[in-house]
């Protein structure tokens, strides 16, 4: 298949590009590099041994998207492009609604006019909001708190309406839990701008000596050790999930589906710190600080639907997630020290 990856130069898109290319698909990346670096393209070429086609553009540029869909005879779109910082979305909600919601509408219009009707969308477990029960299945009510989460839910609603209006669409919204880790080559991984907000890249920068110590946001939650529990999933497993989703939409007559991509296992902040220390052979100094506003005690997936429908389940362990994060961080973080 000829597959367009919006946001394909980013963290999850670049890992998915590797998996798709290794399966023999033609991958075309479409990215405005607002949160990624062009050097990713060379690194992808090193990993796959193939030339990477990349269009430097914004998904809101409808005519460029249309030209790309037509020129490359695109069969399916994997839509990763979006802004994703929860805190920033409260400070600048318009940027999030414009980029994520308006950007997706523009992409969908371009796809419709070119009769490209297969779409895999990067949604998020954040659409569930505060869990009413655990593990979270797809029937769990949705009630996102941040503007970021609301953009993801609004896009899902738009996609559902679109599929109702025309049953020839094949749309999958994948609700990711907490993607971490990196490709085994150590050439690509998560490369956040500035001080990381998320736990794993923050731990990596402490392990590498760029940051002094980790602040653990609260140890008085109703969890086994009092620290927050999340469902960390290896980014390569997530990438495989996209391949499974593509196979599924090609072989089933469902116009729209949503699905969790998680492991089903909860891991606390302290557990992750301990595993990382072991895998990296580094001490991770930490202090307990106040809870972070908006954080929840625990969130993990019921991933059964993905297995029942697509035969997909995560394979990689938390130790592999820590080891691969460290291998990537210890090669890529040198530039911060220089
Ligand atoms: P990322 O920021 O690394 O990648 C997103 C890519 O999209 C970047 O390369 C960026 O330059 C590009 N982009 C952004 N806006 C664009 C636009 N208007 N036009 C063209 N390109 C644009 O993020 P990621 O972690 O790879 O996440 C990919 C998707 O998955 C996002 O939609 C994100 O919301 C979603 N998601 C991520 C996580 C996570 O923890 N990483 C969790 C759940 C969902
Ligand atoms: N966390 C932390 N210190 C940090 C970053 C995160 O203690 O510097 C905790 C956070 O409170 C949560 C868990 O780590 O319990 C995962 O946070 P992250 O931001 O990575 O994911 P999210 O909260 O969005 O699921």
DSSP 122-148: EEEGGGG-S-SSSSB-TTS-----SHH
pLDDT of 336 reads 57
- Residue located nearest, by CA, to atom 16 of ligand 2: 199
Full-model pTM:
0.98
Task: Output DSSP code: residue 79.
Answer: E
The span from the CA of 70 to the CA of 155, in Å, is: 24
pLDDT of 177 reads 98
pLDDT of 215 reads 97
Q: Which of 206, 228, 233, when mutated, tests ligand 2's pocket best, judged by the most ligand atoms within 8 Å of its CB?
A: 228
pLDDT of 335 reads 62
pLDDT of 1 reads 96
pLDDT of 331 reads 87
CB 147 within 8 A of CB 90: yes
Residues of the chain with pLDDT under 50: none
The span from the CA of 292 to the CA of 58, in Å, is: 33
pLDDT of 74 reads 98
Ligand 2 binding residues, C-beta < 6 A: 178, 197-199, 202, 214-217, 228, 230, 269, 292, 295
Say whether 128 is catalytic.
Answer: no
- Residue located nearest, by CA, to atom 17 of ligand 1: 58
C-alpha torsion angle, residues 317, 217, 213, 277 (rounded to 10):
-20
- Residue located nearest, by CA, to atom 43 of ligand 1: 124
Looking at the structure, give the CATH architecture of the domain made up of residues 2-180+233-261.
3-Layer(aba) Sandwich (3.40)
pLDDT of 337 reads 56
Integer CA distances (angstroms), 67 to 57, 170, 274, in order: 11, 21, 50
pLDDT of 32 reads 97
Domain boundaries, the chain: 2-180+233-261, 199-230+264-337
The span from the CA of 275 to the CA of 283, in Å, is: 11
Instruction: Tell me which CATH code domain 199-230+264-337 carries.
Output: 3.90.25.10
pLDDT of 21 reads 98
């Amino acid at each position: 298949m000829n597959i367009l990856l919006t946001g394909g130069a980013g963290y999850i898109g670049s890992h998915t590009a590797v998996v798709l290319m290794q399966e023999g698909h033609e991958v075309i990346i479409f990215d405005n590099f607002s949160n990624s670096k062009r050097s990713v393209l060379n690194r992808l070429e090193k990993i796959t041994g193939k030339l990477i086609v990349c269009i430097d553009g914004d998904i809101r540029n409808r005519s460029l998207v249309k030209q790309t869909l037509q020129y490359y005879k695109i069969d399916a779109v994997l839509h990763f492009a979006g802004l994703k910082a929860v805190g920033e979305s409260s400070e600048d909600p318009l940027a999030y609604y414009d980029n994520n919601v308006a950007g997706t509408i523009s992409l969908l219009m371009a796809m419709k006019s070119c009769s490209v009707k297969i779409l895999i969308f990067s949604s998020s477990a954040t659409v569930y909001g505060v869990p009413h029960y655990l593990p979270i299945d797809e029937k769990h009510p949705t009630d996102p708190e941040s503007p970021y989460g609301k953009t993801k839910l609004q896009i899902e609603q738009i996609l559902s309406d679109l599929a109702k209006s025309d049953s020839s669409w094949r749309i999958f919204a994948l609700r990711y839990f907490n993607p971490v880790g990196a490709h085994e080559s150590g050439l690509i991984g998560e490369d956040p701008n500035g001080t990381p907000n998320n736990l794993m890249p923050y731990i990596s920068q402490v392990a590498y000596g760029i940051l002094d110590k980790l602040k653990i946001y609260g140890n008085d939650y109703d969890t086994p050790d009092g620290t927050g529990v999340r469902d960390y999933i290896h980014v390569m497993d997530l990438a495989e999930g996209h391949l499974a989703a593509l196979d599924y939409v090609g072989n089933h007559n469902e116009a729209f589906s949503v699905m969790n991509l998680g492991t089903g296992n909860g891991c606390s902040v302290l557990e992750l710190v301990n595993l990382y220390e072991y895998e990296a052979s580094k001490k991770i100094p930490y202090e307990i600080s106040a809870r972070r506003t908006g954080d929840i005690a625990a969130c993990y997936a019921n991933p059964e639907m993905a297995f029942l429908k697509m035969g997909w389940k995560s394979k990689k362990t938390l130790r592999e997630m820590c080891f691969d994060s460290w291998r990537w961080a210890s090669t890529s973080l040198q530039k911060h020290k220089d």
